[in-house]
């Protein structure tokens, strides 16, 4: 089974850890780009905050599904 990774501001992402997701804090686009580095082959879904999505654009592998939270 694949892993779910959530990237974004702590206040918007911390609750996902309760559901078993791996949370990577990123308060801006540059931090989000760094957080998506080395995701690993077992990651199947990345959930992004709107701020994180700006920094991650075009950096995720093609085989990873991504979704952006509403503002």
Mean pLDDT, the chain, whole residue set:
94
One-letter-per-residue 3-state SS of 19-41: HCCEEEECCCHHHHHHHCCCCCC
Q: Which CATH architecture has domain 3-68?
A: 3-Layer(aba) Sandwich (3.40)
Of all residues in the chain, the percent with pLDDT exceeding 90 is 82
| pLDDT tens column, 2-28 | 999 999 999 999 999 999 999 999 999
pTM score: 0.93
pLDDT at 58: 86
Cβ atoms of 39 and 59 within 8 Å: the answer is no
User: What's the pLDDT score for residue 37?
Assistant: 86
């Amino acid at each position: 089974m694949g892993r779910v990774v959530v990237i974004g501001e702590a206040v918007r992402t911390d609750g996902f850890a309760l559901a078993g997701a791996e949370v990577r804090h990123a308060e801006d686009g540059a931090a989000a780009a760094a957080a998506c580095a080395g995701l690993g082959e077992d990651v199947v879904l990345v959930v992004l905050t709107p701020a994180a999505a700006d920094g991650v654009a075009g950096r995720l592998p093609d085989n990873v599904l991504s979704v952006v939270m509403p503002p």
